[in-house]
Amino acid sequence: MPYAPADDRYDRMPYRRTGRSGLLLPPISLGFWWNFGHDRPLETSRAIVRRAFDLGVTHFDLANNYGPPYGSAEENFGTLMRQDLRRFRDELVISTKAGYDMWPGPYGDHGSRKYLLASLDQSLARMGLDYVDIFYSHRFDPDTPLEETMGALDSAVRAGKALYVGISSYSAEKTREAAAILLDLGTPLLIHQPSYSMLNRWIEPDLLDAVGELGIGCIVFSPLAQGMLTDKYLGGIPDGSRASRPTSLSPDLITDEALAKIRALNEIASRRGQSLAQMALAWVLRDERVTSALIGASSVEQLEDNIAALERLDFTSEELAEIDRHASDSAINIWAASSET
């Protein structure tokens, strides 16, 4: 049977404006970093993507090296586009990125014009698309002139291969520089994608002020601290969890100190009538400068639980003060090197 999305998919989703642009995004967007590669059944991915769209999630975020293996998330998304979503292309915001290692040799990494534009062509081919809505520089490259990297993003728009451009994990200073270069080129910087969570608050001192002043959107990734801000680790490291496998979440991060923070935050969430994951998502969305939070999902049930966070986004001043006592950096910002240069 052909896929028919829910008729009421836009009725309950409170879309947010992306900075001062005309683009609206759902406050929760679906990211394809970890759960949509060839190591997972395509039918599981299909069920998650269909349910997300049924619930009003219109933004799907990818990158060239998402998988595993590299490229497979875009390939699988391309299959789902072709089989399920092609008729709804104009209802979707699809993004991809380039900046981390993708293929061997000197031209398959970092921020050169050659790499970024070649990668975008490859991404479009994998997804079977004529254009993406947002194309990102995935990280700042200190060895490439910023003018070259931003010029490549501008060229992607002028070639009709992207509608908007963004950056990810740039410092506040480099964000201001990038925005100025793009403004001069005539392609405004739409959005910044940094990591942000109750256990990784690096964007608060400067970057949030920068995006607010510049009128740039902010879509945060890893709002659940790679799963640490869920009920999964309340009793330690369970078998089969991300921290139990060789992934980006090292078991060394699940310390007694981190567990004490997580358990205290879970108690606050329980009093609010939320799961810890729901409160963590609501917390990153409390700031009006944050347009959207990217989630990953390994099941439809997990997706639905996360989207239910939108039912309770308000916080009392007392709740925020209590959260602040336990929400502090926990060495999980593995992307810090890009934003420190």
pLDDT in tens, 289-334: 999 999 999 999 999 999 999 999 999 999 999 999 999 987 788 8
For Cα atoms 184, 16, 295, give the angle at the middle one, nearest 5 degrees. 100
Query: Environment class of residue 203 by beta-carbon count within 10 Å: exposed (0-12), middle (13-18) or buried (19+)?
Result: buried
Q: Looking at this protein, which amino acid is placed at residue 126?
A: R
259 in helix, strand or coil?
Answer: helix
More confident call, 247 vs 312: 312
Alpha-carbon distance of 300 to 85, in angstroms, equals 18
So what's the pLDDT on residue 185?
98
So what's the pLDDT on residue 33?
95
Give strand ranges (E) for the chain.
16-17, 24-25, 28-31, 59-61, 93-98, 132-137, 162-168, 189-193, 217-220, 292-295
**Residue for token pair 């995004």:** 25
Per-residue pLDDT of 49-77, as tens digits, reads 999 999 999 999 999 999 999 999 999 99
So what's the pLDDT on residue 244?
43
276 in helix, strand or coil?
Answer: helix
Strand-pair category, 24-25 with 16-17: antiparallel
| Average per-residue pLDDT for the chain | 94
